[in-house]
């Protein structure tokens, strides 16, 4: 058989598998007397965030407005991909211009923050393109499991997945907007201080601040409303992407953790009951599907998790270093303290949300260890071995795992690294010229 014929057979096999998955999903919905659009699925909960992300060129998916997950696909020739390409082009130009300015003026731990911010943004856009390519292969089995766990013997959750994700998005999003506004306020007052030292004028026009804030852009573009809008819009896009990276990890973790919690509740309901091996087999099969889904999500999100953790560690150190050095205005202290506390809270939320996946995956062991020896069968032993054999959760390429233990380890490393930076910065300040207008 030729290679072309083998390729055609493989594609037909994949298409048949997708068709069987969709038919099974619709059959379960019809059997439960519900429409798929009414079910509390992860796709239904995450869809509003995907729509907002499209505006900033993140997760370039086609038909993202559709309520049916099988309609949402990645297409290279699509409006979403055009948005992504536009942001990558504009962001790449801004990154190169920022790097050129820093090379001329000299790099140090403080002034390279903006360059790191831009580079991380470019890397994240590329990471989300890769994740969008695998989205159809991920959301169909996830939706199939969601439907399975909407009906007995699985009990419904006290709070819907949609309400949880909406609450997290609104709270973290509001705090991110406040952080962005404080950034501009702090920057304006800092520039006002420098302007007063250089010109002996106390008032600074908005145009002068904008010209300083987007000086790299005005090297290529004329000073007009379009250039100002372009500068603000690109800055907002990079800031949104930076926050969305962590929010997306949190939302995905909550979606997985809730399904593992439902599975654990089903096992808990069997306490002090004689369970036949056939039922243990069915339960174990559902657990395998859950673990396969978690493993698939972990494999696709490893790059996003790695960049998120590395970037958060760097920014926390940078913000803490700025706080412990002398600042000019009260608004500077307000911004840097708020930004640091917000970043610490967001990083902790990422680790705590992801750790719930692993915690919930081990909950069935409490019930299994209570099974009396007279009812301890080979199926029970297989299930226990299955639960303890492999780590279930999110990781950074399996180099580290998002757990509470990892969070405290990272905080200890941050304290040590920050003390080193403070010592180095103190030496630089002693060696430098103590000019208050610097």
- For the stretch 308-323, pLDDT in tens is 999 998 898 888 877 7
Rounded to an integer, what distance in angstroms lies between the CA atom of residue 304 and that of residue 83? 20
Token readout for 157 is 């959750």
pLDDT at 81 over 80: yes
Check residue 155 and report its DSSP letter: P
Cα first-last separation, the chain: 75
pLDDT at 111 over 50: yes
Mean pLDDT, to the nearest integer, of 125-130?
Answer: 94
- Most confident of the following: 137-141, 316-320, 352-356: 352-356
- Look at residue 300 in the predicted model and tell me its pLDDT: 94
Higher pLDDT, 434 or 345: 345
Per-residue pLDDT reduced to its tens digit, 233-248: 888 999 999 999 999 9
Mean pLDDT, to the nearest integer, of 144-167?
Answer: 89
What mean pLDDT is reported for the chain?
Answer: 84
Which of 199-217 are b and which e, b meaning 16 or more Cβ less than 10 Å from the residue's Cβ? eeeeebeeebbbbbbbebb
Instruction: Determine which of 5-19, 81-95, 206-220, 322-336 has the lowest per-residue pLDDT on average.
Output: 5-19
pLDDT at 415 over 90: no
- Look at residue 434 in the predicted model and tell me its pLDDT: 44
Is 236 in contact with 57 (CB distance < 8 Å)? no
- Look at residue 32 in the predicted model and tell me its pLDDT: 46
pLDDT at 219 over 80: no
Q: What is the 3-state secondary structure (H, E, C) of 314-348?
A: HHHHHHHHHHCCCCCCHHHHHHHHHHHHHHHHHHH
Give the pLDDT band (50/70/90) at residue 193.
Answer: low
Mean pLDDT, to the nearest integer, of 339-351?
Answer: 94
pLDDT at 202 over 60: no
Mean pLDDT, to the nearest integer, of 8-27?
Answer: 62
Rounded to an integer, what distance in angstroms lies between the CA atom of residue 32 and that of residue 142? 18
Token readout for 225 is 């409303």
Higher pLDDT, 12 or 369: 369
Which of 249-284 are b and which e, b meaning 16 or more Cβ less than 10 Å from the residue's Cβ? bbbbbbbbbbbbbbbbbbbeebeeeebeeeebeebb
Pick from 192, 227, 234, 197: which is nearest to 90 by CA? 234
- Most confident of the following: 9-23, 108-122, 347-361, 401-415: 347-361
Instruction: Determine which of 136-145, 150-159, 301-310, 391-400 has the lowest per-residue pLDDT on average.
Output: 150-159
Mean pLDDT, to the nearest integer, of 125-145?
Answer: 92
Mean pLDDT, to the nearest integer, of 165-178?
Answer: 94
Pick from 338, 331, 330, 323: which is nearest to 179 by CA? 338
C-alpha pair distances (Å), 386 with each of 292, 362, 416: 12, 10, 39
Check residue 281 and report its DSSP letter: H
Instruction: Determine which of 32-36, 112-116, 184-188, 277-281 has the lowest per-residue pLDDT on average.
Output: 32-36
Rounded to an integer, what distance in angstroms lies between the CA atom of residue 367 and that of residue 377? 14
Rounded to an integer, what distance in angstroms lies between the CA atom of residue 59 and that of residue 135? 9
Higher pLDDT, 322 or 130: 130
Q: Which helix (H) or strand (E) holds 166?
A: helix 161-199
Residues of the chain with pLDDT > 90: what percent? 42
Rounded to an integer, what distance in angstroms lies between the CA atom of residue 68 and that of residue 302? 26
pLDDT at 16 over 70: no
């Amino acid at each position: 058989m030729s290679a072309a014929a083998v390729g055609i057979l493989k594609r037909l096999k994949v298409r048949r598998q997708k068709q069987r998955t969709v038919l099974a999903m619709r059959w379960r919905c019809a059997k439960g007397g519900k429409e798929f659009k009414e079910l509390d699925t992860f796709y239904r909960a995450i869809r509003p965030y995907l729509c907002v992300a499209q505006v900033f060129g993140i997760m370039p998916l086609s038909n993202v407005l559709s309520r049916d997950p099988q309609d949402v696909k990645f297409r290279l020739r699509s409006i979403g991909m055009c948005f992504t390409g536009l942001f990558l082009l504009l962001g790449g130009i801004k990154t190169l211009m920022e790097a050129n300015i820093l090379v001329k003026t000299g790099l140090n731990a403080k002034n390279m923050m903006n360059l790191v911010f831009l580079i991380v943004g470019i890397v994240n856009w590329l990471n989300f393109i890769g994740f969008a390519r695998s989205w159809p292969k991920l959301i169909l089995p996830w939706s199939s499991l969601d439907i399975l766990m909407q009906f007995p013997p699985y009990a419904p959750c006290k709070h819907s997945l949609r309400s949880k994700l909406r609450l997290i998005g609104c709270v973290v999003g509001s705090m991110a907007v406040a952080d962005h506004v404080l950034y501009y306020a702090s920057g304006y007052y800092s520039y006002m201080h420098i302007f007063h030292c250089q010109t002996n004028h106390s008032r600074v026009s908005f145009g002068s601040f904008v010209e300083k804030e987007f000086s790299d852009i005005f090297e290529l573009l004329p000073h007009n409303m379009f250039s100002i809008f372009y500068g603000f819009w690109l800055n907002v896009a990079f800031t949104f992407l930076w926050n969305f990276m962590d929010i997306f990890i949190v939302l995905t973790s909550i979606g997985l953790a809730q399904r593992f919690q439902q599975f654990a509740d089903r096992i808990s309901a069997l306490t002090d009951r004689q369970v036949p091996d056939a039922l243990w087999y069915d339960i174990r099969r559902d657990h395998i599907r859950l673990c396969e889904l978690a493993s698939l999500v972990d494999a696709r999100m490893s790059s996003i998790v790695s960049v998120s953790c590395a970037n958060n560690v760097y920014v926390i150190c940078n913000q803490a270093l700025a706080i412990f050095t002398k600042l000019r205005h009260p608004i500077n202290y307000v911004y840097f303290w708020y930004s640091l506390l917000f970043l610490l809270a967001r990083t902790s939320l990422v680790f705590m949300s992801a750790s719930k996946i692993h915690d919930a995956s081990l909950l069935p062991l409490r019930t299994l260890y209570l099974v009396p020896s007279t009812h301890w069968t080979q199926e029970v032993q297989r299930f226990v071995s299955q639960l303890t054999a492999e780590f279930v959760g999110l990781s950074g390429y399996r180099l580290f795992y998002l757990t509470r233990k990892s969070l405290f380890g990272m905080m200890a490393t941050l304290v040590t690294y920050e003390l080193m930076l403070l010592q180095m910065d103190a030496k630089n300040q002693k060696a430098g010229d103590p000019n208050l207008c610097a």
